[in-house]
Structure 1
Amino acid sequence: MTELEHFLRLKEKVLLKYQEHYPFFNGNWKSFSSQDILNLIDLIEKNCKQSISEKWVYTHLKPETNTKIPRRDMLNILCEFVGFSSWDEFVFIRKNTDSNEIEKPNKFKKYKLLSIALFVLLLIALFVFYKNHETTKTIELKNEFTNEKVKSDEVKVFQVKNDVKEELPVKEGNIEIDNDSKKKSKLIIQSPFYKSKTIDLNSQEATSTQTKKIELKPDDYAMMLKAFMLSDIKDWQTRKEQLNSILSDNLEVIVMLKNDLGAEYFDKEEFSQKLIIPTASIKKMKIIEIKKSDDDKIQFIRIKQE
Structure 2
Amino acid sequence: MTDLDLLHFEQLKKDVQAQYLKEYTPSYDEISKWKGIDIIYFQEDLRKKAKGNISEKSFYTYFKSSPVTKLPRIDMLNLLSIYAGYDSWYEFKKNHLFAGELLTDEQELDDNEIKELEKTVSSALNLPKTEKEPQKADFQPQENIVLQESNIDNQTIVENSQVSKPTQKTPVKPQKRNHQRTAWIAATAVFVTLLGLLGFKDEIFQKTYVYCFTDADRNLSVQRDIEIKVIKENESPILYRIKPGECFRYPTKDKTLKMQISSTTYENLEVNRNLENAPEEETIELKPDDYKMAVYYFSIKDINGENSEELIKQKRKQLENLISNEAVITQVYDSDIYGLESLDKQKYITLVTTPTTALKNLNVIEMKKEKGKIVSIKFKISTHENNK
Task: Tell me the TM-score normalised to structure 2 length.
Answer: 0.36
Q: More relative contact order in 1 or in 2 (CA 8 Å, sep 6+)? A: 1
Task: Tell me the TM-score normalised to structure 1 length.
Answer: 0.44
Larger-Rg structure:
2
More helix by share: 2
